[in-house]
Structure 1
Amino acid sequence: MLCRRKWWLFGAAWMLAACGVAHGATSEGQRYLALCRQYAVRVSGGPAASPSASPTAWEVKGTLSGLARSTDDMGYTLLVQMDDGTSVSLTGSGKAPNVDVGSKVRVLVKNGSANTESPGPVVLAVATETDVVAALGASNAAASHAPASHASRRSRSAVPASRGARSAVREAVAWSASAILQAYKNAVRWFNPKLSENELTTIAQCVLGFSARYGVDPRLIMAVLAVESGFKVEATSRAGAMGLGQLMPATARGMGVTNAYDPVQNIDAAVRLIRGHLEAHAGKDSMEQLALALASYNAGGGAVRKYGGVPPYKETRNYIRKVASWYRYFCTGK
């Protein structure tokens, strides 16, 4: 049985290696981005956009706190609580979106006509934050084929490049988003077969989406999460580290995480932390940069500064070795 599981992981690792800086996006996220392009709405990772000069359409971001359907199921009303605590009521026509109350959502809206019964904002599209982030990951991967500007090349230099990444990304564009997403789900499942299908999808989408958003190789994030928690969502260490990325309570609070056992919040924070550690050691040899970033994630940036390099802790040195081994495996299948 173990041998069979290893072959399954090998297959998933081979697909991850072929995917490069892969992209995973659900059809809902892709449809949402397509409508944003149609209405010339800039999709950003910042706070919710508000209509300043009565634009045709804009984006609202927040938590879905309420959903009411019409009796004939041909209309609905959304109540979205934004990050600043304010709430907005938005109406849409047709069948209500299949989104759970409590989910982080993005809503594309436009101004209603004064001649209609609902002259206020009208919903054009709704998608979960996870779906949109994953779809953005797909777009960013495809965009990597265009010649990079000097600024974008300099920005990407903060992230260690994996062997053969460029050719792998070229091959990845021909892959369907669903196949790439499935490869990541298979790899996660190998580590934790007890995860439900929904949990596998959420974790894989978050790894792909947040990696694309913050400019980090998703295979590195996979390696970190594999070593940190074995993809056990409820993992808690003896020191109190929590969740997939094993965030310490103080670190979680500092990153704005309200529930470290929520995969979306945890992976978002973990990727941001790794990105920050990589940037802190930009300019060094890629392998040294990676080792110092991983040492900072494991032992803290203060310990790395104190010793002027990787601290002489057995746990930290073993941690770097394990993560680097999985990262190499996910990149090369060896």
Structure 2
Amino acid sequence: MNKVIILGTGPAGLTAAIYLARANMKPLVVEGPEPGGQLTTTTDVENFPGFPDGILGPELMNHMRKQAERFGAEFKRGWVTDVDLSNRPFRIQVDSLGELQAESLVISTGASAKLLGIPGEKENMGQGVSTCATCDGFFYRGKKIIVVGGGDSAMEEANFLTKFASEVTVVHRRDELRASKIMQDRARENEKIKWALNRVPVEVITKEDGGVKGLKVQNKETGDEELLETDGVFVAIGHNPNTSFLKGQVKTDELGYIVVEPGTTKTNVEGVFACGDVQDHIYRQAITAAGTGCMAAMDCEKFLEGAATVDWSQSLS
């Protein structure tokens, strides 16, 4: 029997593990096949407080993990295949571990960026291909950038990237955008944004000495392939929250993100808490994820102690 099980080892899950371990809750952290979450695919992280010279994404995650282990958090590798949240203790089925039981559960399984699935995409992630303009836009100051997508998020990222890039080209497979009219108008009024509509991405082309050279696309009108030269490709076709394993046992919104009680990390199931990108489709930043991880630990400890008030300064500070 575990007091608390944490699912996921991104900034949210690891922060929750640090706080709960320091509170002597002995959390068991189940990490999936990609420990560390999306930050492990990021090279330089320059916007996480405390690192004035920046830090590599995998290195930051490794520091967080070691900090949690120092205070007694236990880590086990496995893939959650099923959960039963109908009664406590909760039952969690993990492919490599069998059935685990817990009095409380912290879900921090994140959200996975949708990818194009073309050659050169995954291989160059963090090396010229990105899924986060806020994270990586700064590195493309004065350069040419391509944004792939036609929805609101693509228009938002394209506009944001014009703060840094000399030129931003929006590539979309249709001749009409899916974005709302106000977002389309804002993008079309931006002189730095160019358009390559009716183009289907085929392959990310790299330079001989490394780095992205361009995006090969197919013109749907002519059937011909073209090479759009660029220094970076930002894929903005949405995210999938990693909640399918819950099978409807926790309330989610229409996109699949877990719904939490405002101002808390409490879900509709007593004793189950959610933090990080699995419940946040707006900010999606390491620092905001870590903040909700702290909140989840506090909410979880309060639940486990069964007290109306807890002296956080003594237990978690």
Normalised to the residue count of structure 1, the TM-score between the two structures is 0.28
Q: Greater helix percent: which structure?
A: 1
Q: Greater strand percent: which structure?
A: 2
